[in-house]
A and B are shown apart, each in its own frame.
Chain A
Amino acid sequence: MKKKDNKLVMWYKNKKPYSSYILFGIILSVLPILVELKALKYSYLTTIASILIYSIVGLGLNILLGYSGLISLGTAGFMGLGTYLSAYLTADLNLPFELALLISIAVPILVGILTGLVSLRIEGFYLAIATLAISEIFRKVFVEFEVVTNGFSGKKADYPTLLGFIELGRNGTFILIVAILVVIMIITYNLINSYTGRAFLTMRGSESAAKAMGINIYKYRLLSFAITVAYAGLGGVLYMHFVKYTYPDTWTLLLSLNILAAIVIGGIRSIPGTILGSFVVFGVPDLILKRLPIIGQFDGLAYIFNGVLIVLVVLFYPTGLIHVKEKFKRKNTKLQKEEGSYSE
């Protein structure tokens, strides 16, 4: 903090967190090797992959909730839309994976913008109601529109084939998910530190200031919702091609709420926080709780765990678990408040 800082220290302080994101990605990429070496169970890998996919979706929702101050309850619906589109396009129409990916993101964005056009004109919380309705409509469509969706039987798809000839297996797809997560972390960081990110935060903090400073609130609300929906669509595509199976009842309000819980528990307006939150909400029940003796047998244990955790976090760490460490540090060494702790 003092003037003694030399160039190296300054560089470290000013550097973007890209390198830590990439390091995180590299560490995760080692996991499939561990599975091959039998050091890690295959089921763990599946759970971790779904944590990473929900992290991507959660990062999108964090932009909407943490920055723009809007709530969407239809995250799961848009994710489901992504899965079905991608499955239909690759398995039934034999389109290349890349094209299916683009379409499966573009269509949710279009639907999202239409939803937003109607609901964002009025007060912000109408978006929550509209998205809740639209995701229920999606679920009904997944059930009824059997020609494309196979109804209750669910829909299958394969691991992705990149560029038409690189056929990915289970491990390859896992690494693809990791790579996409790292890219998403980086562009999310860029976005929230750009003028668009500041505009989002301004409309959440003070609508009057936003208007007076020339921020078109309607436009920026639409934009942030479109980004959220795009992340959800992307998450859906990755889910489809890793789990290889989609089923209408996966995409319920409960999943939307779980993703919301992940953000609140992990850390609102925090990229590592979102990932930590996804791990806690989607990982801990599967990886730890279920394996506990006796109490692991209870059916609703995950819900109780998440519920209690939300209450505790909101009470004691309203900015999320990611800030627990800082809070301890501050208490013990009375460090001055670090700048910008919310944005990384």
Chain B
Amino acid sequence: MSNETVKSKDLVLKIEDLSIAFGGLKAVDSLSFEIKEKEIFGLIGPNGAGKTTVFNCITQFYKPDQGKVLFKGNNGEIENLVGQKTHEIISKGLVRTFQNIELIKELSVIDNLLIGSHIEFKASVLSQLLRLPKARKEEEVLRKKAEEILKYMDLYDIKDQLVGGQPYGILKRIELARTLMCNPKLIILDEPAAGLNEAETIALIEKVRDIRDRYNCSILLVEHDMKFVSDLCDRVCAISFGKFLAIGTPEEIQNNEKVQIAYLGKEEDYA
């Protein structure tokens, strides 16, 4: 555990000097940035820039070679997440979605949401085997909560249908709904708008803002759709080949020379 304090009071996540290499390839190279409370923060970069790797380092799917991931959790304490077990991360209030939707297709929509509140279930195995009042009560309370979230996400009508066979846009929405089950402090979205049509993308922008206000949480996202990013994000961090390029408002980033070079190449290249 680190004694290091995050200077500004309203920070929720602070990445310090984060690096990870796969063999000789430095996927993330001393990257640092911070996310404030109630901020919608975008991480952008060309293909292969290491955006998803950053996510995996934050959520401890990968163990970074160096650096710190300081997170102010639900209890208000600041912890370094590096070195903690992957399955312990969600209990701090940090939850994520995946680029390739990771839902359980043999389960109904509502049961998939209930997986999101796995850590809130406390009943013992024996109590579950015998359906003792404690297990039943717990299930009932969390099922109610899931139903409310489903209503909020306009998924209530299909709550008892199986996830397998649902259209892509619905799956994306179910996965987003699942993150809301654990009282998140920071939600990490990996390409939330990928594969959505324009109307769905606009609706998603509204929804993400509303989620931020309703759940009082911060949002960190990776997205290739630049319009989506500039419409939604308060601040954006651009990276390329794992290295920090620039940070600022979407307008600042769009006008940043380094970012333009990373995306489009130098003018001389084409001369």
Contact = CB atoms under 8 A, between A and B. Distances in A.
B108 to A, nearest CB: 6
Among B86, B89, B90, B139: residue with most chain A CB under 10 A? B86
B139 A205 contact: no
Contact of A208 (B61, B90, B131): B61
B21 interface: no
A212 B90 contact: yes
Contacts of A202: 104, 115, 118
Interface string B197-222: 00000000000000000000000000
A211 B118 CA distance: 11
Interface residues of B, number: 40
Contacts of A212: 59, 61, 86, 89-90, 95-96, 98, 102
A269 interface: yes
Interface string A196-212: 10110110011011111
A187 B86 contact: no
B1 interface: no
Contact of B102 (A190, A199, A209): A209
A213 B165 CA distance: 22
B227 interface: no
A19 B86 CA distance: 42
A212 B135 CA distance: 23
Given A198-B111, A201-B107, A190 B129 contact: yes
B220 to A, nearest CB: 14
Given A212-B95, A214-B119, A195 B128 contact: yes
Contact of A209 (B85, B98, B161, B165): B98
Interface in B75-106: 85-91, 95-96, 98, 102-106
B106 A342 contact: yes
A216 interface: yes
A194 interface: yes
Among A194, A199, A337, A342: residue with most chain B CB under 10 A? A194
| Range, interface on chain A | 20 to 34
Interface string B105-138: 1111001001110110101010011110001000
A201 B61 CA distance: 20
Given A214-B91, A214-B119, A190 B104 contact: no
A199 B139 CA distance: 14
Nearest to A227: B125
B104 A209 contact: yes
Given A187-B130, A190-B131, A339 B108 contact: yes
Given A206-B102, A339-B162, A342-B106, A195 B139 contact: yes
Contacts, number: 101
Nearest to B56: A208
Contacts of B129: 187, 190-191, 194
Among A211, A212, A216, A342: residue with most chain B CB under 10 A? A212
A208 B102 contact: yes
Nearest to B111: A198
Contacts of A196: 125, 128
Contact of A191 (B116, B128, B178): B128
Contacts of A217: 87
Among A198, A269, A339: residue with most chain B CB under 10 A? A198
B128 A199 contact: no
B267 to A, nearest CB: 41
Among B85, B107, B115, B128: residue with most chain A CB under 10 A? B115
Contact of B161 (A191, A206, A339): A339
B104 A213 contact: no
Contacts of A289: none
A137 B87 CA distance: 35
Contact of B130 (A190, A337, A339): A190
A229 to B, nearest CB: 14
B160 interface: yes
A214 B118 contact: yes
Given A187-B129, A214-B88, A337 B162 contact: yes
A339 B102 CA distance: 21
A223 interface: yes
Nearest to A342: B106
Interface in B147-197: 160-162, 165, 178, 182
B87 A215 contact: yes
B162 A205 contact: no
Contacts of A205: 103-107
Given A198-B114, A205-B103, 4 more contacts: A187-B130, A198-B111, A212-B102, A223-B125
Interface of A: 187, 190-191, 194-196, 198-199, 201-202, 205-206, 208-217, 223, 269, 337, 339-340, 342
22 contacts: A190-B128, A190-B130, A191-B125, A191-B128, A194-B135, A196-B125, A198-B114, A201-B107, A202-B115, A205-B104, A208-B102, A212-B95, A213-B95, A213-B178, A214-B87, A214-B90, A214-B91, A215-B118, A269-B106, A340-B108, A340-B160, A340-B162
